[in-house]
Amino acid sequence: MYDLLIKGGRVCDGSGLPSYLGDVAVQNGRIAEVGRVDGGAERVIDAGGLAVSPGFIDFHTHLDAQLLWDPIATSSCWHGITTVIPGNCGLTLAPCRPQDRESTLGSFVRVEAMPLQVLKSAVNWEWETFPEYLNRLDGKLGVNVAALVGHCALRQYVMGDAACEREATDDEIERMKNILKESMRAGAIGFSTNQNPVHMRSDGRPIPSRLAAKREILELAGVLGDLSRGSVQISVGTPGIAVPAEEAVAWFNRIAARAGRPVVWQSIAHRWDQPSLYRQLLDLAEKGQAEGVPSYPLCNARLFNNRFNLKNAQVFDDLPTWKETLFKPLDARIERFRDPELRMKLRSEAVENNFRSRFSRRWDLVYMIKAASAKNKPLERKSVAEIAALQGKEVIDAFLDLSLEEGLETMFQTSSTNGDESAVAEILRSPHTLVGQSDAGAHLIYDAGYGYATRFLGHWIRERNVMGLEEGVRKLTSMVASIFGLHDRGLIRPGMAADLVLFDPDTVGDSEPEMVSDLPGGEKRLVQKAKGIQMTLVNGEVLTEAGKHSGALPGRVLGKR
């Protein structure tokens, strides 16, 4: 008698092999049998018409705090995610001494844009060490958690506020190494570090990991090498922008070679201001991997949307006349937008010119998303290029006339990153990239990236056909599990943990984010629902069914011994 029997689904087992019609039996939290399975079960689930795949593993989250009040990790769990990895970008809530709590939260507030009052009220500091933090989570989780140790927390713990001021001494490095080792032994799955030059705490000081010398990072990565366990996650800002591309990738590869452990680096995306950078980075990633270095770039299946109107727009800041105009008071701004001579200048910069700019000059990719007047509602969701064609106008006139007519309140949307679909398809299709950069739990009111997996399966695989479903599932499951050392996850095989997702390949997709007020204290955040995700199972128990939480809390801290 099995606990659960999933009958007649299309099994995409996570390996990338062709899928097959079959059954999956679950017993004691693990996969018991796969293939044609007869025999009784407590519950039989008809998976006819659905794909059955390993649960997706979201490896780039900032859910460290949210998991304390939201054990099922919404919105991630609605998108087929069964395991989340918090502790990215050098930031964790442990280890942390009582006197450092404020500055630790300050990094999350500033770098990850979480409201301070929410963190202060909901983080109750029942821990000091990393093992204590893991104990606080374990037994109270809906999804599985596999946690990285953040370099900022390690530094602050050992060096106090000097962590934001200077390099560490040999003795301090030694102490950090010991704490990292202890955390790894207690169940951490790796270490994260962050030298992004724009990342600051809310007190205006650099986050501690920015002050680390290369030697310190190599020594800490070496701890993972000594243990033969764990992965390193690193960000130095955009390679090719913050640091020359070759230098950045050579550094990531050096860490990976020195420690003999996987390094996951941030990131490859298409940018309008450096349109061939992504290809250079893909080549560099391929070269490193060909040399035998376990160094993997991450990338994202979604574009980074800018929503703006001409009252608050920043997307034109690289264009001098636009910038000058958009910094004028409202009346003067309106006057300038009306002025035919100035319009010629604006047109030349935003339509014709060729100098580098984060703005794409692709007016077919600038969408009007919200009209401020009922009259213009029918134009919503059309691109400015389409609107111009409908009205028989030049794009610049269509854009400015519409905004002027609505007091500059018309909302538009465009993308400075990943806006070129053919480039993004090339990045996603590359065998060298990891897909997923959800930043779940961060940037709560600006952007919602929870749905990278459903977007990948729906938009990129079904609609754009960038790869087969099986290969896509492999990228979301066993590839991630392998790199992060989650060796009993990511595949549907007897003996593996029964983390599963049942979805409809014909409808799976991500929904538009919506603003809700469900944070502690009623604060606002964006949530994102999914389409076509029928069920998720975590450790053999149903976690969500048709988008609803079952009430069960079957998740665990992975790696704990």
**Least distance to Zn ion from the beta carbon of 280, Å?**
23
Closer of 89 and 498 to Zn ion (Cβ): 89
**Least distance to Zn ion from the beta carbon of 336, Å?**
39
Regarding 88 and contact with Zn ion (CB under 5 A), the answer is yes
Closer of 88 and 195 to Zn ion (Cβ): 88
Q: Where would I find the H helices in 330-420?
A: 330-338, 340-347, 384-391, 395-405
Give the residue, chosen from 24, 41, 45, 89, that forms a contact with Zn ion under the rule CB under 5 A.
89
Full DSSP string of 415-481: EEES--HHHHHHHHH-TT-EE----BTSSTTT---TTHHHHIIIIIIIIS-SS-HHHHHHHHTHHHH
Distance CA 308, CA 368 (A): 10
Backbone angle region of 268, left / alpha / beta, with phi > 0 → left and psi within -120 to 50 → alpha = beta
Closer of 88 and 534 to Zn ion (Cβ): 88
Closer of 31 and 119 to Zn ion (Cβ): 119
x/- site string to Zn ion, residues 502 to 541, per CB under 5 A? ----------------------------------------
What is the H or E stretch that residue 81 is in? strand 81-84
Closer of 95 and 441 to Zn ion (Cβ): 441
Residue 135 DSSP one-character state:
H
Asked if residues 501 and 533 have their Cβ atoms less than 8 Å apart, the reply is yes
**Least distance to Zn ion from the beta carbon of 241, Å?**
16
Stretch that binds Zn ion, among 83-91, 102-110, 271-279, 494-502 (CB under 5 A): 83-91
Closer of 235 and 305 to Zn ion (Cβ): 235
Q: Where would I find the H helices in 80-141?
A: 101-111, 116-122, 130-137
Stretch that binds Zn ion, among 88-96, 459-467, 488-496, 509-517 (CB under 5 A): 88-96
Closer of 86 and 532 to Zn ion (Cβ): 86
Residue 237, exposed/middle/buried by CB under 10 A (0-12, 13-18, 19+)? middle
For residue 116, the number of C-alpha atoms closer than 13 Å in the C-beta half-sphere is 12
Asked if residues 256 and 262 have their Cβ atoms less than 8 Å apart, the reply is yes
**Least distance to Zn ion from the beta carbon of 192, Å?**
8
Residue nearest to Zn ion (CB): 89
Closer of 88 and 433 to Zn ion (Cβ): 88
**Least distance to Zn ion from the beta carbon of 60, Å?**
6
Stretch that binds Zn ion, among 87-95, 169-177, 314-322, 357-365 (CB under 5 A): 87-95
84: β partners = 58, 145
Stretch that binds Zn ion, among 89-97, 121-129, 171-179, 250-258 (CB under 5 A): 89-97
* Binding residues vs Zn ion (CB under 5 A): 88-89
